[in-house]
Amino acid sequence: MSKTYDLIIIGSGPAGLNAGIYAKRACLDTILFETIETSGGQITQTYEVDNYMGLPKINGFDLSQKFRDHAKSLDLEIVNAKITSIEQIRDRVKLVKTKDTTYLAKAVILATGAYPAKLGIEGEDEFRGKGVSYCATCDGAFFKGKTVCVFGGGDVALEDAIFLSKMATKVYLIHRRDELRGSQILQNEAKACDNIDILWSYAPVSINGNGKIEYVTIKNLKDNKDYRLDVDGVFVAIGTKAESSLLDGKVEMKKNRIVADETCKTSVPGIFAAGDVRTKQLRQVITAAADGANAVTSVLHYLSDLEQKK
């Protein structure tokens, strides 16, 4: 524990990697941490990204590799290690710890993203990994020729249903309202699939079976009655929770997202939040990448203020 970096970035999704690119181009002494080498964030589990300018219909993993290759071409130092704590966050020098090592930095960008939210219903934990999945691109192939359901009504649920319709015999998209939240283009695509049925105004109640999933129980919110729907697999796509625990109780948060505007400044000087971990209106690859650039610009202002106060 000797050297003090200008900047530590935590996370290697679009926000973290683009922060790395901007930091290297600004000649900041920077290190980026990711938990595993293939981290790359949520897009690595997206079969197709069709709204990142200039790269239409690109596979999510391929897009994340392009981001990584770009960052590596600038010699960004990337380390595989799980950060366990960020300490002395109000001091000029922040302490960032892994299980074995402590790193020092003048500024930290948290770009740890988000993870899938759970339904919180009976049977969800019991069948997790045994028919309940939070990643259609990872697990869809197990349901070739089977019947599955997807809970949710946003872009991810629609994308999952469309992806699963290519291998499953039948896909039920179960939404709790009578209007979908996802984009119109995906709604049109899903509605055009013969083997996708959208079940409107149904809430999830339980996942049932003996050793394997046999059916889900869903409540019709119009007549308030429970119904049985036979399925082999359940995909959950009801949004995300921010991976903000490293700063729990240390910075201002709202519904587990770190409060920060597009400058990515948190309530603590020198600590910045970029991408899905922060409060924002639109969570997309392009807005996460933009956050990376904005966060580094804020870091540069912060470091220059520190210099002047010396």
Catalytic positions: 135, 138-139
Amino acid at 176: R
Q: β-pairing, 132-133 with 253-254?
A: unpaired
Q: Distance of CA 297 to CAs 31, 44, 204, 206, 309, Å?
A: 17, 26, 44, 47, 19
Q: Is the Cβ of residue 25 or residue 177 nearer to ligand NAP in the bound state?
A: 177
User: Which residues are at the interface with ligand NAP (CB under 6 A)?
Assistant: 51, 119, 151-157, 159, 176-177, 181, 183, 204, 237-240, 282-284
Q: Is the Cβ of residue 29 or residue 48 nearer to ligand NAP in the bound state?
A: 48
Helix (H) or strand (E) holding 97: strand 94-97
Q: Is the Cβ of residue 40 or residue 153 nearer to ligand NAP in the bound state?
A: 153
Q: Is the Cβ of residue 48 or residue 77 nearer to ligand NAP in the bound state?
A: 48
The nearest distance, CB 171 to ligand NAP, in angstroms, is 16
Angle among Cα 195, 199, 200 to the nearest 5 degrees reads 145
What is the number of the residue whose Cβ is closest to ligand NAP? 154
Q: What sign for the dihedral angle of Cα 26, 31, 36, 42?
A: negative
Q: Are 279 and 265 in contact (CB under 8 A)?
A: no
The nearest distance, CB 109 to ligand NAP, in angstroms, is 21
Structure-token pair, residue 248 = 């729990």
The nearest distance, CB 29 to ligand NAP, in angstroms, is 33
Q: Is the Cβ of residue 63 or residue 81 nearer to ligand NAP in the bound state?
A: 63
| Alpha-carbon span 137 to 140, nearest angstrom | 6
| Alpha-carbon span 165 to 186, nearest angstrom | 13
Q: Is the Cβ of residue 209 or residue 239 nearer to ligand NAP in the bound state?
A: 239
Count of CA atoms in the C-beta half-sphere (13 A) of 233: 28
The nearest distance, CB 148 to ligand NAP, in angstroms, is 16
The nearest distance, CB 53 to ligand NAP, in angstroms, is 12
| Alpha-carbon span 245 to 263, nearest angstrom | 21
Q: Which DSSP string corresponds to 4-73?
A: EEEEEEE--SHHHHHHHHHHHHTT--EEEEESSTT---GGGG-S-B--STT-TTB-HHHHHHHHHHHHHH
